[in-house]
Amino acid sequence: MWPRYKMSAVDFDKVLEYDNKRFVSSNYKVRHDFLKLWTTMPDTTSLVALGNDQEIVGYGCLVPAFDNKCQVAPLYADDAQIAEGLLRKLLTKVNGRKATIDVW
C-alpha cells in the first residue's frame, strides 16, 4: 500500500499543485491562502498519500467543528482505494466525536 504522511512533512507547494488539478477553480489565490490556514488549524489532522514516485496521490483533512463534532474536508484521491485509506486513517482521530464529510 502507499505511504501516508502528515501534510507538514511534505512541501506545501506540492499539495497546492495537486489541489489545482482537482478543485473547481485552479490557481485560485484565495483557495491557496484558505488551504494553508485550514490544514494547519489547531486540532486538525492533515494527511497526504504518496505514490511509488513520491508524488502526491491524495490528501485529506479532519478539522474540528461545532458542538464537539469534526468534519472531513477536503478529501481528494486518485482512486477509491486511496480515498478509503485516507478516510479510515483520518477517522481514527475522531475520538468519540460525530464526524461529517463534505461531498461535492
Number of domains in the chain: 1
pLDDT of residue 104: 66
pLDDT of residue 92: 94
pLDDT of residue 2: 61
What is the residue whose three cell numbers read 499543485? 17
Low-confidence ranges of the chain (pLDDT < 50): none
The CATH code of the domain that includes 89 is: 3.40.630.30
pLDDT of residue 102: 81
Spatial neighbors of 9 by CB under 8 A, at least 6 apart, are: none
pLDDT of residue 103: 76
Which range marks the domain in which residue 36 is found?
4-101
pLDDT of residue 29: 79
Q: What dihedral do alpha carbons 96, 48, 76, 35 form, nearest 10°? A: 90
> What pTM was estimated for this model as a whole?
0.90
pLDDT of residue 3: 66
